[in-house]
Amino acid sequence: MGHRHRWPTNRRRFRQASGPAKFVQEGGSIDYTPGADVLVGAVVVQADLIGVAQAPIKAGQLGSIAVTGVFDFNKAVGAGSAIPAGTLTYWDAAAQNATKNAAAGANKLIGKAVKATVDADTIVRVRLQQ
């Protein structure tokens, strides 16, 4: 029989481990202190880390952004803008919408579409991935 590793049920004990990493939080959302007010539903871009504000956050105040989960994003519309389910989806910060176009790295990866869209759809459902 193989050995099965079991994570400690007492997280406090794990946090005191002497290795090079220390558990801080689950990671579904992360702390975020914005430089300007952030509205609920705002897409926050920090280099290659994308999150969504699930509550308003005042400038200079500690809040949090979701970095996992499934969200509806505004979608680019028009010919060729349909996004099949499973397609990598990117955030176009200038246009403030999701697209399947990486724009040579200018648009940041937000995740994969979990529901197919057609050109006329204004919303795409995306599972965030980092």
Q: Which two tokens stand for residue 5?
A: 């590793």
Cα torsion 9, 12, 15, 17: sign: negative
* Structural domain boundaries in the chain: 24-68, 69-130
Q: Flag whether pLDDT at 9 surpasses 70.
A: no
pLDDT 10s digits, 66-107: 999 999 999 999 999 999 999 999 999 999 999 999 999 999
First vs last C-alpha separation in the chain: 35
- Alpha carbon dihedral 46, 52, 55, 61, in 10-degree steps, equals -10
Write the pLDDT tens digit of every residue in 19-73: 898 888 888 999 999 999 999 999 999 999 999 999 999 999 999 999 999 999 9
Cα(99)–Cα(119) distance, rounded to whole angstroms? 11
Residue 75 identity: K
Q: For residue 57, give the DSSP letter.
A: B
pTM of the predicted protein model: 0.81
What pLDDT band is residue 12 in, cutting at 50, 70 and 90?
Answer: low
Q: Which residues contact 24 (CB under 8 A, 6 or more apart)?
A: none
pLDDT band for position 18 (cuts 50, 70, 90)? confident
